Amino acid sequence: MSAAGSRRGDLRAARAALSGRLRRGGRRLRGDAWPILTGALAAGVAYGIAHWVVGHEIPVFAAIAAWVCLGFSADRRPRKVAELALGVTLGVAAGELVGAVIGSGPVQIAVVLAAAVAVARLVDGAAMLAMQAGVQAVVVVALPPTLGGDGVGRWLDALIGGALALLVASLLPVDVRRRARNLASSGLTEISRTLADVARGIRTADEDTVDDALTRARGSQGVIDEWSALVRDSLAATRFTPSRLRHDADLLRLQRAATLCDRAMRNTRVIARRAWTTAQGMIEQERLVDLLSTLSRSAADLAFSLGSGSDPAGLRNRLLAVAAQLDPQTFTGWHAQTLVVLMRSLVVDLLEMTGMSAEQARRALADIAPDGGDDQPGPPRLTR
């Protein structure tokens, strides 16, 4: 390939990566819109209360405390918010005390940081509590005393912000399931788009389209990782929550789906990497395109189902029809047969997302026919 052609290929890959990043960023922003809005409003309200009701001239620590405690996280358990609020107020108090006694400077910052974190660790074992205590203590000692009022005033501002954040977390909780469902929809949508673009690239003999699909798929792993981490942390967080407030069954289903989607995405990336070479000169090329397109539509349907919280069991028929066609021995050449083996694994993952067990999904696959005497080396003898 010429240097100009190589540069054009690099530019196309960069555009595809940027497009995928912007698309995922847009979905991420839509999912975080409510936490961002309520957190920002809480910071403004806390500032207003400290300024107009309490009479503090520049109550910056009220707004800081409210935002630090709420942020844009989907995890707004009252206990976690209370820990952050306690950390902020402890840090401000420690900073004010040390600043009043020994002033400000590098030595004082080191002293107040160590003291604030030590007190926080004595009070509670939460890591975020100690982290916020240390950060706020450093901020108080480093800032001029005139910013934000006197010592008691800044501590009271932090208390107001933390208390308001706790009130917002109690009255306007963020439904973790909704965030997890949004991520589930995004992850499966990426799989669907990748498969659709691979099929389109093969049908139109456009290698760049297949390459762009692979680039986008490689950049989508973060969505699935975030989904898995969110559900895992949410399950851990609800361990001591009253049973009437818990959603363990939904979260466990979403956790299982996240694991399966991770496998499916890895299989999809391998399929995208091998599909172009495999499809060249392949007699059954149109058949391969049809199978990839069907799997793409099935993944899109699963994205909608998981995103809306509906039962995906009704989506099995199309996947079962694909599974029944995936006998590697009915394809010509070991390259094509290996690709079909990968598609078998992908179908099993998608079928499991509809509620089937792994054993049921594997039994739905076409039985591998006996080798018809092809002298070419065959694919690995896998059932998935």
Residue 355 has which token pair?
């509620």
Closest CA to 258 of 320, 181, 160: 181
Examine the pLDDT at 243 and tell me if it is beyond 50. Answer: no
Confidence of residue 101 (pLDDT cuts 50, 70, 90): confident
Mean pLDDT of the 63-78 span: 84
Examine the pLDDT at 49 and tell me if it is beyond 90. Answer: yes
Q: Does residue 218 or residue 346 have the better pLDDT?
A: 346
Q: How far apart are the C-alpha atoms of 120 and 142, rounded to whole Å?
A: 20
Continuous segment of H or E residues that includes residue 343: helix 334-353
Closest CA to 80 of 261, 196, 238, 257: 238
pLDDT at 147: 57
Examine the pLDDT at 343 and tell me if it is beyond 90. Answer: yes
Q: What average pLDDT does the structure give for the chain?
A: 84
Span 229-238, pLDDT tens digits: 888 877 766 6
Against a cut of 0.95, is the pTM above it? no
- Least confident range of 104-113, 185-194, 231-240, 275-284: 231-240
pLDDT at 129: 86
Contact 90, 116 (CB under 8 A): yes
Mean pLDDT of the 264-269 span: 94
Span 290-319, pLDDT tens digits: 999 999 999 999 999 999 989 999 999 999
Domain covering 187-363, topology: Methane Monooxygenase Hydroxylase; Chain G, domain 1 (1.20.58)
Contact 354, 313 (CB under 8 A): yes
Confidence of residue 369 (pLDDT cuts 50, 70, 90): low
pLDDT at 285: 84
Per-domain residue ranges of the chain? 31-171, 187-363
Mean pLDDT of the 132-161 span: 81
Examine the pLDDT at 376 and tell me if it is beyond 50. Answer: no
Mean pLDDT of the 95-103 span: 85
Burial of 251 from C-beta contacts in 10 A (0-12 / 13-18 / 19+): buried
- pLDDT > 70 fraction of the chain, expressed in percent and rounded: 85
Q: How far apart are the C-alpha atoms of 54 and 156, rounded to whole Å?
A: 9
pLDDT at 141: 87
pLDDT at 149: 57
Name every residue whose Cβ is closer than 8 Å to that of residue 51 and which is 6 or more positions away in sequence: 57, 58, 59, 62
